[in-house]
Each structure stands twice: as structure tokens, then as C-alpha cells.
């Protein structure tokens, strides 16, 4: 079931990212990041009506408040990456998060990956490198150089590293509460702490216009679904495995990039996706 919920997380995330990038074409990134969070709150708030509020200890609060500033930084960098670069060259680098998690989840949670799990994670990292293979005709190391020339890719690599910490801290908080409660409560706090940042940094007023309501509802709903599915899935297995499968969102992102944004070099980037998919299969088959 953790694979099923992780794939639902991936699809919901890719959908929200695509809708977000579409809005970023005409709006400030801080406004869009803030609005996405605000519009995901109503579905999350409804979940409180159907769950039991757990007792919360010091570990829960420590993990939550350590993760919050990192989460806000990741949101800012994530949204900037979507704005400045093609979605099919930014989102795939989130596949590096499980690579970072091999060490981080062991430090925070004491989780160890299996041999097959480690091979799968490394393949997913290799696949993200292969996304730039269309430049290999000029230089054997051109794909690696392309990563550093593409600002959005660099920003997303930083996000991937930050997420290795927030994912581990999030699971620690879940272990001391419950998946749905933590997901809902945590993002209420994220909105509260991110709003002053957005007000200070946004180039436009944080006012929701009538024409923005429908697209923001779609963005918020898909993002809220991602949060709930993420928290349920991560409570069922090791963090590095769940995040690896979640990064299958890149398949949907590449498809969206071609279908909606008419992005080029999709065929070449598919090779990287195939490598990533191979890593996914090894992780899933090797851990079941």
C-alpha cells in the first residue's frame, strides 16, 4: 500500500507543479507560493473532523519546529526553480533527495537501506544526470556542466537536499502523532510562518482576485491531496524508499511539460526517465 499511496503523491505533486508553473508565467513567485499554501488549507482543515487528535510530546514539537524554517526555505527555492527553468529540467532533480536520505535518515531515524534499495536510489540519481544527455555531442561532461548552467536545476538540487532533512524530521513527528494530523497541522504552521515572508518579499499585494480563484482551487486541492498521501505513505515504510517512489512525479512532469508547455528535448530526457524508472522498480521489488 505504501507504493500505491506514494504514486498518488507523485501524481498529485506533478499536477500541482504544472498548474503552479502555468500561473507563474504572469504572477510573482512569492504570491503563487503563498496562494498555493492558502488554498490547500480548507481540504486539510476538513480532515480534523474525521481524525482523533493525538497527545503530543516534546519530540513532536522539536521535530516540527526544526523542520519549519527549512520547509519555508525549500518552498521559496522550489517556486523560483519552477519560474526560471523548464519543469522537465527542474522537478527531476528532486530524485536526488533519496540519495541524500541514505545518510540523513540514518542519522535522524536510524533507518538503513538494503542493497537493492541502495542500487535503486543510485539509479534514480543517475537518471537525473542523464536528463541532460542531449548535450553530449559537444562534450562528454556537458550534461554535468548543463546542470550548473541551468539556474532552476541548481535551485532544485538545493531543495532536494533540504527535503532530505524535512522528510526525516516529518516522519519523526508522525511517529509521535499520526500521519493525517501532522500533515494538516504542520502546513497550517507553514502558512502562518510563510505569510510574513511573502508579504515582505512579494512584488505584488497578497490579494486573491476573482479570476485567480478557480486555478488556485485546483492548485490547492492537488497540493492538499499530495500532503495527505505523502504523510500516509511515509508512515508505512522507510523515508528513502517512499521519497524515491514519490519522485516518480517526474514522469508526469515531463509529460505535462511536453503537453502543456511544449518543452523541447523531451525524447532525450525520456532516457533519464527510463533509468529512473529502473531504479523505482528495483526499490519496489527489492523491498517487498
Q: What is the pLDDT of residue 20?
A: 87
pLDDT at 142 over 60: no
- DSSP SS3 for 106: helix
Rounded distance between C-alpha atoms, residue 256 and residue 251, angstroms: 9
pLDDT digits (tens, 9 = 90+) for 174-183: 999 999 999 9
Query: Angle at Cα 214 formed by Cα 257 and Cα 230, nearest 5°?
Result: 60
End-to-end CA distance of the chain: 11
Nearest to 238 by CA among 193, 172, 176, 189: 172
pLDDT digits (tens, 9 = 90+) for 125-137: 777 666 655 555 5
Q: How far is CA 131 from CA 43, 99, 128, in A?
A: 35, 17, 5
Rounded distance between C-alpha atoms, residue 156 and residue 158, angstroms: 5
pTM: 0.81
Half-sphere exposure of 156 (CA within 13 A, CB side): 28
- DSSP SS3 for 237: coil
pLDDT digits (tens, 9 = 90+) for 43-71: 898 888 888 889 999 999 999 999 999 99
Amino acid at each position: 500500500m505504501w507504493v500505491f499511496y506514494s504514486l498518488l503523491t507523485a501524481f498529485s505533486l506533478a499536477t500541482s507543479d504544472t498548474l503552479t508553473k502555468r500561473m507563474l508565467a504572469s504572477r510573482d513567485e512569492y504570491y503563487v507560493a503563498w496562494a498555493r499554501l492558502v488554498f490547500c488549507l480548507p481540504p486539510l482543515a476538513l480532515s480534523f473532523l474525521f481524525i482523533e487528535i493525538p497527545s503530543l510530546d516534546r519530540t513532536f514539537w522539536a521535530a516540527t519546529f526544526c523542520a519549519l524554517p527549512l520547509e519555508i526555505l525549500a518552498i521559496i527555492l522550489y517556486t523560483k526553480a519552477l519560474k526560471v527553468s523548464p519543469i522537465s529540467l527542474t522537478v527531476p532533480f528532486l530524485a536526488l533527495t533519496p540519495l541524500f536520505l541514505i545518510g540523513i535518515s540514518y542519522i535522524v531515524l536510524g533507518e538503513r537501506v538494503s542493497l537493492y534499495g541502495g542500487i535503486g536510489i543510485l539509479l534514480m540519481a543517475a537518471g537525473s544526470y542523464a536528463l541532460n544527455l542531449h548535450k553530449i555531442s559537444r562534450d562528454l561532461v556537458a550534461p554535468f556542466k548543463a546542470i550548473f548552467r541551468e539556474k532552476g536545476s541548481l535551485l532544485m538540487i538545493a531543495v532536494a537536499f533540504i527535503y532530505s532533512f524535512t522528510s526525516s524530521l516529518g516522519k519523526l513527528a508522525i511517529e509521535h502523532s499520526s500521519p493525517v494530523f501532522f500533515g494538516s497541522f504542520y502546513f497550517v504552521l507553514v502558512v502562518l510562518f510563510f505569510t510574513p515572508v511573502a508579504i515582505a518579499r512579494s512584488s505584488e499585494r497578497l490579494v486573491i482576485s476573482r479570476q485567480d480563484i478557480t486555478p488556485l482551487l485546483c492548485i490547492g486541492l492537488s497540493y492538499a491531496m499530495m500532503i495527505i498521501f505523502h504523510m500516509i505513505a511515509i508512515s508505512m515504510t522507510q523515508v528513502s524508499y517512499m521519497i524515491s517512489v514519490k519522485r516518480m512525479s517526474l514522469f508526469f512532469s515531463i509529460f505535462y511539460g511536453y503537453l502543456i508547455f511544449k518543452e523541447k528535448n523531451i525524447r532525450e530526457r525520456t532516457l533519464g526517465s527510463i533509468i529512473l524508472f529502473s531504479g523505482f522498480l528495483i526499490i519496489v521489488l527489492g523491498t517487498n
